[in-house]
């Protein structure tokens, strides 16, 4: 409950900032201490050193191609900030906890926690989790901006609080990567392994993302549900999970991914 209230408070603050036309000021504040290393066709990248211009250009082009595969009509308008310290990340992202990255969709900004972004990898926040490629993390965060534009601000924020598994699952599905190990996640989901692994290691968010991706893959990839129906249909999550478990047990459905 406390986590939901925190998310609601952050969302309200974001909406108020947009209503007060503070988006440009917010992006200006995010750029403090950083240098613009790339800017073209709606994507700007900020880092602590301008010598990474070539890497930034390649990163932006990869992201643009990935987004076009999701929707050929989508033109992103986002600024990406690579923070130097966790303190800077928490302040600029208005972050709670230690996520890999955060989107501020109304403010057209993506903030990345400290990482060696030239290696295209972000280390996990817990040893039980897997590292993720930076490109998959960026795509995930950029897809939140796509969702907001596709659904509209009101519908997006409504689903963010009532059907957050769709919001996160859609991004995880298309970014095709997970921090939570697939085999372990499937065993826990199927009841073959104990959920205490998740609670004891304090990795509930990552497991939630894993299950959200599993649900979305089952609907979009296996059942061939249209994207329109995916967003408009009100699913009973317990019933959906039971259906997925049965399909996995009968080997009609295989959740094949590369972590």
Cα–Cα distance, 175 to 142 (Å, whole number) = 10
85-102 residue pLDDT tens: 999 999 888 877 778 899
pLDDT band at 14 (very low <50, low <70, confident <90, very high): low
Residue 235 φ/ψ, nearest 5 degrees: -90, 145
Q: Provide CATH 3.40.30 ranges for the chain.
A: 2-162
- Give the mean model confidence (pLDDT) for residues 24-45: 90
Q: What share of the chain is helix, strand, coil (3-state, %, to 5)?
A: 60, 10, 30
195-230 burial, b at 16+ Cβ within 10 Å, e below that, comes to: eeebeeeebebbbbbbbbbbbbbbbbeeeebeeeeb
pLDDT at 44 over 90: yes
Six-digit token string for 157: 């924020």
Poorest-pLDDT segment among 10-14, 145-149, 208-212: 10-14
- Give the mean model confidence (pLDDT) for residues 119-140: 92
DSSP H helical ranges for 94-200: 134-151, 153-162, 164-175, 182-190, 196-200
pLDDT band at 168 (very low <50, low <70, confident <90, very high): very high
Which positions ≥6 away from 90 have C-beta within 8 Å? none
DSSP H helical ranges for 72-120: 86-93
pLDDT band at 259 (very low <50, low <70, confident <90, very high): low
Q: Which has more confidence, 195 or 2? A: 195
pLDDT band at 45 (very low <50, low <70, confident <90, very high): very high
Residue 82 φ/ψ, nearest 5 degrees: -95, 105
pLDDT band at 21 (very low <50, low <70, confident <90, very high): low
- Residue 111: the pLDDT is 95
pLDDT band at 193 (very low <50, low <70, confident <90, very high): very high
CB 76 within 8 A of CB 105: no
Cα–Cα distance, 127 to 203 (Å, whole number) = 10
pLDDT at 20 over 60: no
- Give the mean model confidence (pLDDT) for residues 177-196: 93
* Burial group, residue 128, by CB count within 10 angstroms (0-12, 13-18, 19+): middle
Six-digit token string for 135: 């490109």
Give the CATH number of domain 2-162; options: 1.20.1300, 2.40.50, 2.30.30, 3.40.30: 3.40.30
Q: Shortest CA distance to 210 belongs to which of 178, 237, 170, 242?
A: 178
- Residue 121: the pLDDT is 87
Question: What's the DSSP call for residue 201?
Answer: T
CB 219 within 8 A of CB 230: yes
pLDDT at 7 over 70: no
pLDDT at 61 over 60: yes
β-pair type (43-47, 101-104): unpaired
Q: What is the DSSP string of 12-60?
A: HHHHHHHHTT-HHHHHHHHTTT-EEEEEETTEEEEES-GGGHHHHHHHH
């Amino acid at each position: 409950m406390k986590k939901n209230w925190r998310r609601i408070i952050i969302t309200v603050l974001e909406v108020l900032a947009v209503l007060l036309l503070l988006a440009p000021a917010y992006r200006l504040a995010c750029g403090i201490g950083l240098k613009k290393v790339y800017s073209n066709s709606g994507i700007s990248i900020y880092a602590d050193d301008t010598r990474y211009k070539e890497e930034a250009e390649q990163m932006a082009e990869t992201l643009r191609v990935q987004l076009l595969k999701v929707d050929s009509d989508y033109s992103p308008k986002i600024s990406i900030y690579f923070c130097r310290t966790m303190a800077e990340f928490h302040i600029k992202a208005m972050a709670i906890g230690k996520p890999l990255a955060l989107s501020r969709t109304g403010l057209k900004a993506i903030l990345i926690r400290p990482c060696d972004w030239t290696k295209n990898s972000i280390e996990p926040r817990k040893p039980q989790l897997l590292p993720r490629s930076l490109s998959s993390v960026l795509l995930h965060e950029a897809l939140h901006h796509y969702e907001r534009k596709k659904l509209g601000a009101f519908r997006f924020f409504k689903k963010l609080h009532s059907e957050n598994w769709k919001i996160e699952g859609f991004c995880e599905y298309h970014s095709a990567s997970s921090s939570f190990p697939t085999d372990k996640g499937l065993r826990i989901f199927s009841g073959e392994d104990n959920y205490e692994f998740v609670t004891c290691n304090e990795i509930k968010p990552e497991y939630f993302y894993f299950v959200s991706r599993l649900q979305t893959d089952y609907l979009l990839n296996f059942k061939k549900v249209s994207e329109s129906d995916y967003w408009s249909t009100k699913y009973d999550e317990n019933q959906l999970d039971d259906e997925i478990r049965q399909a996995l047990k009968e080997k009609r459905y295989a959740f094949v991914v590369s972590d």
